[in-house]
Every structure is written in C-alpha cells, then in structure tokens.
Amino acid sequence: MIDEEILLPEDEGTVKYDEDNIRHLDDMDHIRTRSGMYIGRLGDGSQNDDGIYVLLKEVMDNSIDEFKMGAGKRIEITIEENLRVCVRDYGRGIPQGKLIEAVSKLNTGGKYDNKAFKKSVGLNGVGVKAVNALSSRFEVRSYRDNKVRTAIFERGELREDTTTESDEPNGTYIFFEPDNTLFQNYSFQSTFVETLLRNYTYLNTGLSIVYNGQRIVSRHGLEDLLNDNMTSQGLYPIVHLKGEEIEIAFTHTNQYGEEYYSFVNGQHTTQGGTHQSALKEHIARTIKEFYNKNMDYSDIRNGLVAAIAINVEEPQFEGQTKTKLGSPAMSPGGISVNKYVGDFIKTEVDNFLHKNPLVAEVLLAKIQESEKERKAIAGVTKLARERAKKANMHNRKLRDCRYHFNDTKAKERELELSEASCIFITEGDSASGSITKSRDVNTQAVFSLRGKPLNSFGLTKKVVYENEEFNLLQAALNIEEGIEGLRYNKVIVATDADVDGMHIRLLMITFFLQFFPDLIKKGHVYILQTPLFRVRNKKTTLYCYSEEERIAAIEALSPNPEITRFKGLGEISPDEFQHFIGKDIRLEQVKLRKEDLVKELLAFYMGKNTMERQSFIIDNLVIEEDLAS
C-alpha cells in the first residue's frame, strides 16, 4: 500500500490573502486559463481524445445541427499541413447582427429556446467560443442574404470586423489554428479525423462531408458503422432497426466480451450513459423473454456488437466534452430514456426474431455455447477471484496509484488525473523497480510480470482464471465484467527493446485481442517507447530511440561523445527513467482496423508453425550485413 501524504494547513501568517488575490477573468481568459473545463486534455494530437479534435468537433457540431434542421447537405473540411482547419457549411449562416457575440461571449447561442434548434448537441453556448479562445488565429464568416460578415480573432481578441457584399451561398465558414503555446508540437492525424467525420455521416444519412477532397457518405447508417468497424465476422446479418428518435444495429461474433457504439444527437458518447445502459439491459431481457429460457444476461451479451443513436431534447451530458449521457428523460418532463429505449427494443427486436427464425436459431446456438463455456469455468472462477483479491491486498504484483486532490479545483483536477491514469505492465523485478521509483504515484501504477506470459491463442477464457498472471492482471484492470470498469485510461506494455521484449509484447497483445479486444479498439493499449542509446558530453545528454537518432546525436555532440547502449529497462537508473515516463513520454498506440481480422491475424502470427509463416519469415529476413550496407 502507498502511504498517503499528510498535508497540514500552512501557517496563516505565511500566506498573504487579501483583495488583491480576488481576480475576475473575462470569458476568453477563463477558457485559456481553465482549458480542461472546456475541452478536457490538451495533448499534441497523438491520441483521439486530444483537445485539437474536440475543437474540430465543436465547429462540426454546429454545422451538423444546421443539417439536422434541414439547412445544408454538404460540409467541406480542409486541414492544411495537419495544422490549420477550415470548415464551410451551407446552412443558414450565423445571424450577422450577433456574429461577434456568438463566437466570443459565453452562454450566448441560438439553442436555448428549442425554436431554431430542436435536438442539438451544443446547448450550453460554449463550444465555438472555446475554439476561438484556444486558437492563435480564428476567423468566422457568415454568409446571409448576399452579404458576408467576417470577424478575425487572435487568441480570443477581436482584430478585424468587416461586412461586404457577396454572391456566395448562405452558410458559415470557420478557420482556426490551435495555439501552439498550449497544444505544443501538435498535429492532426488523418485517421482520427476520418473516424470523427465518418461517425457524423453514419448518423446523418443524406449528409455529404468532403475532407481534403475526399467525399464521405453513409447510406445505411449504423449498419455501415458496424460493417466498417467489426474485426470479427458476424454470426448473422446485422439487425438494423429504426424508430422516430432511435436507431439500433447489432449482431454477434465469436469474440469475447461486448462492444458498443452509442450516440446522442450526433454526438459520439464514448463513455456511454443512460442510453447505452438501456440498450445493454433491454436487448438481453428481450432475447431472454423471446426464448423463454433461464438464460444468464452475460451469456446473451457475450460476443454482442451493437450501436445505438437517439435524439433527446435538452440532453444532459456529464462534462463539457459530452462523452457520457446523463439525461434521465427524452425531453423535460417526458418519458425516461430507459423506458423509451426499452419499449422500442421490446417491440422491434421481438418482432424481428419472430420473423427471422434462422437468425433466432443461430443466436440461440451462440448463447448456449457461451453458457456451456461459462459453466465449464465456474469451478475455477470463484477461487481465482478470491486469490486475486487476496493478492491485490498484499500488493504482490500491483503497485497501484492514487488520485489525490488537495485544492479547490477538485473537478478539474479529477478530470486531468483520470485521463492521465495509466498502468505499466513490465517484466522482471529490476524493470518494475526502476519504473516504480520514477513514476508519478498519483497517476501511474505498475504491474510486474514474472517471466514471459503464456501464449493464450486458441485457449478459452478458462485460462484467464487458471493462469495466475492473467487472473491478477484482469483483477488489477477491473475488466472481468467489461471495460466500463477499467481503472486506468492507458494500459502500457513496457518491455526491453530486444527480441525477448518484443515477444512479451506480442504475448500481451495476443491476450488482449483474444479476451478483451474492446480494450484495444477503444484505444486504451499502448507500447512504451524507451531509448536505445544515450549520447552525451560534459554539457549535454541526448536519448536516442533509433539508429538514425543516434547518428544525429553523435554529429550534434562531436567530438567523441560518450555512447551507451541500453540493453534493458532494468539498466536505466530511476533518475533517468523519469525522463521517459514523464511529460515527454513516447507511446505507440496499439490499433485495430477493419482489415485486421483478429482470428486470422492471431492464427498466422501466434498459431502453430505453418509453412506460410515460415515463408514469411524467410522472405522478410534482414541480416546484419544488410543493415550495415
């Protein structure tokens, strides 16, 4: 256990506190000073939840709201040099008389009275103001009635305001360049941008988005979303059902666990909420009642891949970034979200199963297979849970972290810490010892493996409970019932940069792909990049992560710098290690794409030695002489 710090109040006589300490921040200054309250993390664009994508989303949400109101079927997005963003829609255009206020005054907007916008995401009058405040340059143009009003801002400060004649179609144009003093070394990644934009088209059939000249559309909504994202073959054709304010799609696969995509008014609620919970509850209940059998809900949902999108008047989200729906009702004083979703699923899914007996037959076989496996491991799970609980109590494998708040900005601090929370999975006492001594105990936990983990390919989930390493890791991550309970935002595999280290990485990724694929698909699994070399002279030390960096460092520090080759994590002193797991940490996210069919991927790389894999190794063998040349 980690000892809690004992914080004593400072001597009242040592701290000055008077009228000079009371400050008022105007809207733009407040956003810049407390950016976490508005967009979450800042980041450099290397992760899909970094702030620059939130800025893009806030601008896009307004254009999408125009489309939902029947104004403008095309949105054009251009990102120049992965740094500067232009968004042009063909909606109604911001009312020109209130253009400045609409983009610079908090709590100002057209979405409060449900007249101009009925089912909108941006209800709080904040979004585009945050984009303005956090951009080194922000330009907005409103095209209406053959006139264009243009306003240019720098870091939230108005610099120009002009109105001229124009023959351009009605709509809004916004340009922004994120402030690189806040988003240091940032770069928009096309993969994350395309995912964001495709999600908009899945939820708005008929909408055309043109991104850097590429047209993105969807004709089948959530059915397209599942088809584009599933990495395991569906056991039956995707069931796609639509109602007045609701749309769902689902199928089952042979993968373990459950996988959900949920949306509210076009907003991707990555952390779920009341609508996703209702989907999980009622789809299992309806299927159970259809078969009229004593089924366990976990067996019904095992392998389920599902999506839900609903429209809610005045949605309540948990946090400004709108990643979790908190609304209890579809509209003020209206039917609850749970009942609305439940009534729809009860009627439509039940009807579908009655009309499609072949699908019902395949689904029943899948549920029975899951039930058979669950009962087969029932005898070991209870003992395994008790063993994991006892082991965690004594901290045998896990050196946990803590979230520690000691200031008045608790909510903002909690957001920052929860997003920064991570666990390093490393091998051996020396490596875990170095990381443990170097880490931030508030946000960074360490899990120590003992030797190489088991190759879990082809094994059933029984091995998770029978194998001590896997059982304790599952308990540490708290993912036995799904990743909703995941205790850390990032799961980081930290191994030596050698053949053995690479093998351990593959074994750990195999484990996650085999039993917890959603952990990877939701972007939680990373590989820690550690330096291969240290190059230094009396004044400067450079850490090099590749041969190219080593050569450049030698040239920069000539003549005759000292060169050290790190053979393993345990050889890096704790004092040096803190450079690699602190603010300059280098992480490589493990990603899973549509074309990466998990079953075939694992069979090729982690299955028995097939002739195909032997041929692959021979064809791709690079010998030392080749490298030298």
Give residue 2's pLDDT band: very low, low, confident or very high (50, 70, 90): very low
Kindly tell me if the per-residue pLDDT of 39 is higher than 60.
yes
pTM of the model: 0.78
What's the rounded Cα separation, in Å, for the pair 560 and 554?
8
Of 275 and 117, the structure prediction assigns the larger pLDDT to 275
| Band of residue 262 on the pLDDT scale cut at 50, 70, 90 | very high
Q: Which of 297-306, 337-346, 490-499 has the lowest mean pLDDT?
A: 490-499
Q: What is the pLDDT of residue 486?
A: 86
Q: How confident is the model at residue 575 (pLDDT cuts 50, 70, 90)?
A: confident
Which pLDDT belongs to residue 408? Answer: 42
Rounded percentage of the chain residues whose pLDDT exceeds 70: 84
Report yes or no: 573 and 566 within 8 Å, Cβ to Cβ.
no
pLDDT at 18 over 70: no
Q: What is the pLDDT of residue 596?
A: 66
Residue 133 near residue 156, CB atoms below 8 Å: yes
Residue 112: band (very low, low, confident or very high) from pLDDT cuts 50, 70, 90: very low
* Most confident residue range from 53-62, 361-370, 413-422, 525-534: 361-370
**Fold type of domain 222-376:** Ribosomal Protein S5; domain 2 (3.30.230)
For residue 2, how many C-alpha atoms fall within 13 Å in the half-sphere facing its CB? 19
Residue 117 confidence (pLDDT) above 80? no
Beta-carbon-side half-sphere exposure of residue 507 (alpha carbons within 13 Å): 20
Output the six-digit token pair for 326. 């908190």
Percent of the chain with pLDDT over 90: 39
Q: How many CB atoms lie within 10 A of CB 45?
A: 21
Pairwise CA distance, residues 96 & 103, whole Å? 11
How large is the average pLDDT for residues 392-401? 69
pLDDT of residue 209: 96
Residues in the chain: 629
Contacts of 82 (CB under 8 A, 6+ apart): 45, 187, 188, 189, 190
Of the candidates 542, 544, 523, 524, the one whose C-alpha atom is nearest the C-alpha of residue 533 is: 544
Query: Which pLDDT band, with edges at 50, 70 and 90, does 14 fall under?
Result: low
Pairing state between β 259-264 and 246-252: unpaired
- Using alpha carbons only, give the angle 63, 524, 388 rounded to the nearest 5 degrees: 145
pLDDT of residue 148 exceeding 80, the answer is yes
Confidence of residue 512 (pLDDT cuts 50, 70, 90): very high
Of residues 403, 390, 401, 404, the one with CA closest to residue 424: 401
pLDDT tens profile 158-174: 999 999 999 999 999 99
Tell me: pLDDT of 597 over 50. Answer: yes
Mean pLDDT on 3-26: 51
Rounded-to-integer distance, Cα 422 and Cα 587, Å: 12
Q: Give the 3-state secondary structure of 290-313.
A: HHCCCCCHHHHHCCEEEEEEECCC
Better-scored residue on pLDDT, 167 or 121 = 167
108 band by pLDDT with thresholds 50, 70 and 90: low
What distances in angstroms separate CA 392 from CA 22, 123, 519, one per listed residue?
46, 44, 22
Beta bridge partners, 139, equal 152, 175
- Report how far apart, in Å, the C-alpha atoms of 315 and of each of 29, 275, 329, 337, 437 are: 27, 11, 8, 11, 45
Q: Say which residue, 14 or 164, is predicted with more confidence.
A: 164
Q: What is the pLDDT of residue 552?
A: 92
Tell me the mean pLDDT in the region 530-556: 89
Comparing 158 with 40, the larger pLDDT belongs to 158
pLDDT at 1 over 50: no
Tell me the per-residue pLDDT of 433-489, one tens digit each, with 9 for 90 and over: 888 888 988 889 999 888 788 888 888 888 888 888 888 898 889 888 888 788 888
Query: Is residue 248 a contact partner of residue 307, using CB atoms and an 8 Å limit?
Result: yes
pLDDT for the residue numbered 72: 87
pLDDT at residue 20, rounded to an integer = 61
pLDDT band at 390 (very low <50, low <70, confident <90, very high): low
Mean pLDDT of 109-119: 47
pLDDT tens-digit readout, 201-218: 999 988 999 999 999 999
Could you count the other beta carbons within 10 Å of the beta carbon of residue 97?
11
- Residue 164: per-residue pLDDT: 95
Helix (H, G, I), strand (E, B) or coil at 590: coil
Question: Would you state the pLDDT for residue 626?
Answer: 46
Three-state SS for 508? helix
Both structure tokens of 197: 């934009």
Provide CATH code, domain 378-530+579-598.
3.40.50.670
Would you say residue 594 has pLDDT above 80?
A: no
- Residue whose tokens read 């309540």: 316
Confidence of residue 17 (pLDDT cuts 50, 70, 90): low
The domain locations on the chain are: 28-216, 222-376, 378-530+579-598
Supply the pLDDT for residue 324: 78
Res 123: pLDDT? 42
Tokens for 64, please give them.
């999408």
Three-class secondary structure of residue 543 per DSSP: strand
Helix (H) or strand (E) holding 260: strand 259-264
**Are 464 and 470 a contacting pair, CB within 8 Å?**
yes
E strands in 130-230: 135-144, 147-154, 157-165, 171-178, 208-211, 214-216
Span 222-235, average pLDDT: 92
Quick one: pLDDT at residue 502?
Answer: 86
* Domain made up of 28-216: CATH architecture: 2-Layer Sandwich (3.30)
**pLDDT (0 to 100) of residue 321:** 59
> What is the rounded distance in angstroms from the CA atom of residue 282 to the CA atom of residue 297?
10
Residue 398 contacts residue 407 (beta carbons within 8 Å): no
Task: Return the HEC string of 16-66.
Answer: CCCHHHCCCCCHHHHHHHCHHHHHCCCCCCCCCCCHHHHHHHHHHHHHHHH
Q: Which helix (H) or strand (E) holds 202?
A: helix 190-203
Tokens of 131: 């984009």
Long-range pairs for 485-489: beta carbons < 8 A, 24 or more residues apart? 486/519, 486/524, 487/421, 487/423, 488/421, 488/422, 488/423, 488/445, 488/524, 489/418, 489/419, 489/420, 489/421, 489/422, 489/524
Residue-by-residue DSSP string for 203-224: HSTT-EEEETTEEE--SSTHHH
- Whole-angstrom Cα distance, residue 407 to residue 7? 11
Mean pLDDT, rounded, for 78-103: 93
So what's the pLDDT on residue 116?
42
Task: In whole angstroms, give the CA distance from residue 56 to residue 83.
Answer: 12
The tokens describing 12, both together, are 């009242």
H-run or E-run covering 387: helix 378-393
| Cis before 559 (ω within 30) | yes
Top-ranked range on mean pLDDT: pick from 172-176, 258-262, 577-581: 172-176
Residue 333: how many other CB atoms lie within 10 Å:
6
Q: Hey, which of 213-227, 261-275, 545-559 has the most confident mean pLDDT?
A: 213-227
